[in-house]
Structure 1
């Protein structure tokens, strides 16, 4: 069967891998000159099932107001970019800010994320992929005692779901991240999630794409997707600026740009492009650098260790498709790396990046079939595309292959928005 995958980020390439392995003739189409050049390029580097929680949670609207009032705000709204679509999406997200929705959404997210981690274990056994991967966990770091005091609810959820975790005092944090000994006056404790991982998503996707090509996958790069052509309840082709490609099956893995392609087909995807920023810095002093991932809970900034680099990612900005990189948006991520790991990296040589995270109102990705019998979705992963990538891709590939997925599909498809 001929399969056209629309999008060459980590989701699209991973889907191509699983479909090619099962014997299909696969073509990946992307507008960039190389795979993983957009959202997959400079993300925080966390593969964090244990950190999979919906943005929409009880109390978040009030917290968001507080965040916006901070000098180093982890959340901001670009008022110039507010429009009807943005306000509609925000209202849907607010509707999920209740205990019942939070529990439902978190369980769905964890189902995909935990499965995806298992898929990472399997693919490492099968392929020798060099992507600066580390399996040393995530450490949520708390600067204030009130953050420790509020931790019991999160721990209760982790216990209920059987997710390994360790509540640590200051010395416990230092034992896992020795460089924190240099700043012991900056924090009071932490929560370690030992099952989490780190890695460079761009490197991983590039290496996996090479494995795909070895299986016969074709990559149509520098190719703009214009629209899909429908006939009698099926998609028959995709129109690009390089011509028309016919296929038997189509997979949309275009992240934040998925709604624009799907809307003319009568598929309304409630996905919003949440803007995020990162810095990538060369390590100068190994003894002062982190070993894995530190999540600074006060500023919502992740500091992730690659082999000879540090990736610092954070900030959630509602700014539509604006990809400008104002210097002032570096403030919080600049601060955290220099405050928590002073002298570890050369900030003057940092690569400043921004990308768009395709966020649904319930933070759960949209996976599986549509009303068109041969059109499938693998999109809407928000900040967890890297974490959920392999599990989502294998899940969608299994559905295309008419194979029973390894995880329960309940609540993962677009149908949950039309119930």
Structure 2
């Protein structure tokens, strides 16, 4: 109850101070002159902005098809044109403030107007310029309230109050201001870290001279460096000693040694995979456990395989090191397949290889190297003579590619065009004792 009365008394005190300040402004000639200069500064800023805005737009607007770095910088600066009016008003108000302080020795009214123009600039920045959802939310719930407190002239008072309010967690004590500063700084740092990581990943990904595994390793290294630097900078901002982090790091190391062995093993295995390039994003692999698919993503803990039926399989990195892995597409190497078929015993088999090899070679995806299509005699079956044609392609015979099916169609059509019969099983049924059957 006493605390409620104390808060009420403080609120009434602040209200009384505000009332006295308002009356002093209303009855003071200096305050009215400052208000007049404030209105004049705003009107002058409005006139200057209307005249200067078209010229600024022409200067900052690059050609539509230009992708030069200067054009990108001009497009970035073009987004801030809506801030022209409040910033020009802020500059003119600052000039008016220096004039009033030199003449009247005070400038509280015009200083309030100057802070108000900064608040207007913050609102325009959040509503019209920021497009990133996270930055927009941060501006809405952090920047605008802070600028509102600054415009009212009570930001220092609120900051001091938050600094005095302490929070205790066991043996650790810190102020609310430290917590708020850490949350804001951490949010900005890690957003900037994510943006920097995306930019670096895009830049490294465009470098076709590097192997895919090397590019992936470089992207992961850049990510660790960026977020590690952001974390250390955040600790410095919050005033946390790195010595205490060393103690925590030792405890975490013990935890990894006892309870997180598999995670550490998978992380190290992922680094080895990236360094050696045994498997990388885009490769079609088959593991000893039966998992098979195209690697679509490699993380610090596991690789993600996508099967041809659209399923994702998460395979720990350790499995690529400790088990047998068949890579069908490492470094873009070709793969060999074969298509079996049979012909009738009435066929001149000496003509078959040339006919089939010529027909298969006409397929647009069949390669001439490392070997052209090769038709081989495999044996003499019960119903016909068995052949098989071997061919090389760049890709996997599954999913969107049906190489073996296409080749079998070519074989069928080639045999039909040359009058060669494809056999099918024949069965002869003999009926004994047919003469003794009843009439």
Q: Based on CA coordinates, which of the two structures has the bigger radius of gyration? A: 2
TM-score by length of 2: 0.18
Structure with the larger RCO, 1 or 2 (CA within 8 Å, 6+ apart): 1
Richer in helix (by share): 2
TM-score by length of 1: 0.19
Richer in strand (by share): 1
